Structure 1
């Protein structure tokens, strides 16, 4: 099974989304961009899908995410950046298609 066990999910929701994401020292957009940056740098593709969608929903432009990926490439390596660029393209294409259908 690929699901996350209930206790871990509950702690994630309570602490990460209930406290960390609610800290007003960073805006939601800043927090989202930081999260996406970490996920790109660490090569966490499966989480990138979710967080790139979230970033777009928060109004972060594709060009901003592309600039972040280019920046990360110089510090974390080209392979993670190329992979993230592909994920970003897939996410944007999927969301564009969903918007056309609604």
Structure 2
């Protein structure tokens, strides 16, 4: 693996601006937590997308929608999750999330 492949997405975004936060992100969040055996990566992605929609964390949603697809969720399943959440988290949150999903999915094609 060359040096470029070892640089995480978080490191590419922030460089050395917040090294402690980047360390937690890379080593604990995407290292230890995402590697747990109790839930599959697909299940973790589904939970994460739902939490981001519910909390209206739109800054992280686009990344996690695409990450969820890498873990086996389809665009149709992700749109259904957002639609389902409209009734539990609020219509404005779901509308914001579906617009982010539309943009994320269109940019991939």
- 1:71 lines up with 2:84 in the alignment: yes
**What are the equivalent positions in structure 2 for 1:44-59 lying under 5 Å apart?**
44-59=57-72
Q: CA RMSD in A?
A: 1.3
- List gaps (5 residues or longer) in structure 1: 97-102
- List gaps (5 residues or longer) in structure 2: 1-12
Which whole-Å CA distance do the structure 1 matches of 2:19 and 2:99 have between them?
31
Which whole-Å CA distance do the structure 2 matches of 1:58 and 1:12 have between them?
19
Stretches of 4+ moved more than 6 A in 1? none
Which whole-Å CA distance do the structure 1 matches of 2:33 and 2:68 have between them?
17
- The structure showing larger relative contact order (alpha-carbon pairs under 8 Å, at least 6 residues apart) is 1
- 1:87 lines up with 2:86 in the alignment: no
